[in-house]
Amino acid sequence: MITQLKTTLLAVIILFGDSPDGFAQDLVTASEAYKSGDYATALKEWRLLAEQGNSEAQFRLSWMYYDGTGVVQDKVYAHMWVNLAAANAATLEYHDIVREVIAFSSRNRFAREMTPSQIEKAMDLARECVKKEYKGC
């Protein structure tokens, strides 16, 4: 029963993901680039998708900033991107509760390593990013 539920959930995510058709391939391209150590390509692809509101790309960017992989480590931007990812996962047409919970959990992890002023700055950046429709964040 659980295996069937997982299979069904995976099929729904693949068929009705939070992005138009090209996004899925771009996510694959970015993930493959990241795995091969081509962080510049991964960053470019995920940023383009993140600017289109793709929560998976926003989540991936958050971890790049958190770890400092391919970018200068910046926990403020990590928190901003993961907060946006969680918010977008919560508003998906099919409400991806798993993605939302993982993003919020990551956001809380990041916050434990930040000062209150850093968290406030990250929240301000996230609000500004939404106002700009994710462009130039």
For residue 122, is pLDDT > 90? Answer: yes
Q: Summarize pLDDT for 20-36 with one digit per residue, the tens.
A: 445 567 889 999 999 99
Q: Summarize pLDDT for 31-51 with one digit per residue, the tens.
A: 999 999 999 999 999 999 999
Residue 99: predicted pLDDT: 76
Percent of the chain's residues with pLDDT above 70: 79
For residue 18, is pLDDT > 60? Answer: no
Q: Name which residue leads in pLDDT, 81 or 97.
A: 81
Cβ within 8 Å of residue 132, ≥6 positions away: none
